Chain A
Amino acid sequence: MEKTLITLAMWLPLAGFVLNGLLSLRSKTANQSLVSGIGIAGVLAPFAIFAYLTFNLDILHLTEEMKEFVLFSWMNTGTFSIDFGYRLDGLTIFMAWIVTGIGFLIHVYSIGYMYAEKKDFSRFFAYLNLFIFAMLHLVMGNNLVILFLGWEGVGLASYLLIGFDVHKDSAADAGKKAFIANRIGDAGFLIGMFLLYQVTGTLQYSGILEFFSVHSVAADLLNVIAVFLFIGAVGKSAQIPLYVWLPDAMAGPTPVSALIHAATMVTAGVFMIARLSPVFLGAPEASTMIAYIGASTALFSALIALTQTDIKKVLAYSTVSQLGYMFMAMGVGAYGAGMFHLMTHAFFKALLFLSSGAVIIALHHEQDMRRMGGLFKHLKLIAVLFWIGAIAISGVPGLSGFFSKDMILEQAYTFKNGGPVLFGMGLLTALLTSFYVFRLIFLTFHTRHDGVADMEHHHDDHHGHDDHHGVLPVSWNMKAPLVVLALLSIGGGYVGLPHLFTHETPAIVSYFDKVLEYSEGKSPSEASHEWKNHPTESEEQVLMGVSILVAVIGFLIAFLIYQKGNARPQPDGAARPFYQAWSYNKFYVDELYEFLILRPMKKLAEFSYKIVDVKIIDNTLDAIAAALVAIGNFFRSFQSGVISDYALYIFLGMSFLGMILIGGVI
């Protein structure tokens, strides 16, 4: 019964993809209510099924036979065989809730957001369902090969949706960039998978987890495996040095940014680490590296976000930064905290992205904050929702972001390998986060300037035929998901009330401790116990106080500069102080990669083309052809058409044969 339901939940999104895909082929203007109905059914049905299973099964106490089941034997080559099956446990159901739940809200939102795109409407919903299909396989599969299948599937869906606007070169380029950056990570991930297979002899989770609950493996080997697996996570979850694709991915429609590039797909790396927790818990050095890379990514991208002027770019760098937090948590062994932040981030970042999408739609696809301002009086509800998202992400007490971020910072502080350094980086990131998100709000909704008037003029000039001028209203199906997400952003944190308040392990941490209890029968918290110091209550109070303080300071700085000081970001070409210029130009990382990687590659390609291909390969082939022509010409001269010549050949041949026959041998 459960197995049928899960299988149904896994394949319904594909049915939605196929139906909408066919509709998009058939007609340029498909019936939009039909298309959105199919699209929503493709995600709502799995959501309902997972909700039903959650409430009807005791997820934490499933037997091993209940957890994994096999649909069919996928590939079978003698000693190596892979089954196609699914796994239902506390971790997969947690992810399935996020994927289908947030996915459903974003599908609803997309109806409003994409309504004007009549031609591409069904294609968009087809891709969204394809994404849900792949993402569900990524989280629900029962072995690493299915995870990889989903991993590549979400990459494909992401590529298709980034380049959704097929007529724009920039969108197509961004799609390619995302795909290539992910390929680099995937190579590492595959190597990690092969090595893991070498060690455990299986790729099935039950086998891997059982192996680690019985055996202990040398840390050296696990360090190598963990690093390679983490390279995969670096690509998919946009960490240094492969994060560059994510900001460019904002070329896709805003619901895509919210769903794929903030809430679900980019957290796949975090999920993968939790899934293979025994490997990472057995690899302390690799975990320390992950923590530092996460912290560096968090700080670095927060610095870039400070001066960006494109509303979606700010949020994109913010996403990279928050993913850095998650990896910092995973690196210090705080798996519960990392997954907690994954969830709260999915709520508030989806809220922020979708609200910014509402602003973008209301302003006729304007994304530059320098052309916005004073929108509060036009978009009151959106502004309030945006404020909720901003408060949640900045870590003001009471909202979800505060609890998860504070938990990560506290866990990082207690880490033995340089905990205070990690804590400092995280704290600085929190300060910057608070600053850039409130800067975004003040510039967009509050500061008075002529931006909106400017917009109206702009559109009067260029879109004279357009019936709407100025700020467009936002439809209900865009507002409703925002309200739900805002409620989740407010309330989502209460599953992880800190130790300081309750004097117990936070609920979500003990949940994940139970779910991920594999490494030699120990929970992640126990297994990573020796990595950590244990803070006193007064230390906890100080840590929490400091993190609240930086959130408020960030807010105040943004308030003083942008609200009181009425500062506006400068136009693109304007001279900036060097520190602003570095941040504004993203620390020239793209240019650095251009110089270090792309230019040598282009040189190599040019060399291959002009020297190897044109000179060596082409000339060799030409020479062979010329030799054959010369041989042909030589033999052609015998065919003169004169009978006496042929008679001569016959005579010579006969004489030759005669000599052989008479002489015996030649």
Chain B
Amino acid sequence: MEIEIIRIIFLTVVLFSIGILGVLTRRNIIVMIMSVEIMLNSVNLLFIAFSRYFQDLNGEVMVLFVMAIAAAEAAVGLAIVIALHRNYHSIDIMDIKALKE
């Protein structure tokens, strides 16, 4: 059974908004990274949907690239989190305001 494209677009927009809200509102850095992953995956879902809709393989190829970059990004992000935790003994962004100086 084919799902209508508009429903998938709606789903990805909701997912993307959840991701944005997570990044903007949560104080825990790990949760923020997870929110970024949600955003990436909502985009992936949209790629797949359009790829199928237009019968074009480019979208699926792009998804593979995004997944590879997301993996790299998670590795770097988590490494930064560990480094931050070593220095600040905290992963709460309200404790990490060195950018202000």
Contacts and interface: CB of A to CB of B under 8 A. Distances in A.
A73 interface: no
B25 interface: yes
Interface string B78-101: 000000000000000110111111
Contacts of B1: none
Given A642-B93, A642-B94, A647 B24 contact: yes
A642 B26 CA distance: 12
Which are the 3 A-B pairs with shortest beta-carbon distances? A641-B100, A641-B97, A641-B99
B96 A639 contact: no
A641 B24 contact: no
B99 A643 contact: yes
Interface string B54-83: 000000000000000000000000000000
Interface residues of B, number: 15
16 contacts: A641-B97, A641-B98, A641-B99, A642-B94, A643-B32, A643-B93, A644-B23, A644-B24, A644-B26, A644-B32, A644-B93, A646-B99, A647-B23, A647-B24, A651-B20, A651-B24
B100 A640 contact: yes
A596 interface: no
B100 A639 contact: yes
Interface in A615-666: 639-644, 646-648, 651
Contacts of B25: 644
Interface string B18-52: 00100111110000100000000000000000000
A644 B92 CA distance: 11
A635 to B, nearest CB: 13
Nearest to A647: B23
Given A641-B98, A644-B27, 14 more contacts: A639-B99, A640-B97, A640-B100, A641-B97, A642-B94, A642-B97, A643-B99, A644-B23, A644-B24, A644-B26, A647-B24, A648-B24, A651-B20, A651-B24
A651 B23 CA distance: 10
Contacts of A644: 23-27, 32, 93
B100 A643 contact: no
B99 to A, nearest CB: 5
A23 to B, nearest CB: 62
A646 B32 CA distance: 13
**Which label, helix, strand, loop or mixed, suits the secondary structure of the A interface?**
helix
B16 to A, nearest CB: 11
Contacts of B94: 642
Nearest to B94: A642
A642 B29 CA distance: 12
Contacts of A639: 99-100
Interface string A514-529: 0000000000000000
Contacts of A643: 32, 93, 96, 99
B92 to A, nearest CB: 11
Contacts of A651: 20, 24
Interface in A424-470: none
Nearest to A655: B20
A647 B21 CA distance: 11
A646 B20 CA distance: 13
B18 to A, nearest CB: 14
A655 to B, nearest CB: 10
Contacts of A642: 93-94, 97
A94 B61 CA distance: 109
A640 B98 CA distance: 10
A172 to B, nearest CB: 56
Interface in A289-343: none
A514 B27 CA distance: 108
Nearest to B93: A643
A642 B94 CA distance: 6
B56 to A, nearest CB: 21
A417 B94 CA distance: 101
B11 to A, nearest CB: 20
Contacts of A648: 24
Nearest to B25: A644
A643 B99 CA distance: 8
B87 to A, nearest CB: 15
Specify which of A640, A644, A648 lies most central, judged by the most chain B CB atoms within 10 Å of its CB: A644
A166 to B, nearest CB: 56
Nearest to A651: B20
Contacts of B32: 643-644
B71 to A, nearest CB: 21
B31 to A, nearest CB: 11
Contacts of B100: 639-641
B73 to A, nearest CB: 15
Interface in A546-565: none
A345 to B, nearest CB: 82
A647 B32 CA distance: 11
Nearest to B98: A641
A639 B27 CA distance: 18
Nearest to B100: A641
Contacts of A646: 99
B28 to A, nearest CB: 11
B88 to A, nearest CB: 13
B101 to A, nearest CB: 7
A645 to B, nearest CB: 9
B38 to A, nearest CB: 14
A646 B98 CA distance: 13
Contacts of A641: 97-101
A95 B54 CA distance: 110
B77 to A, nearest CB: 12
Interface in A567-590: none
A639 B101 CA distance: 9
Nearest to B101: A641
A644 B27 CA distance: 8
A644 B99 CA distance: 12
Nearest to A646: B99
A487 to B, nearest CB: 91
A425 to B, nearest CB: 87
A651 B36 CA distance: 13
A648 B99 CA distance: 15
Nearest to A644: B24
A646 B23 CA distance: 11
A643 B32 CA distance: 10
A640 B25 CA distance: 15
Contacts of B96: 643
A648 B22 CA distance: 11
A640 B93 CA distance: 12
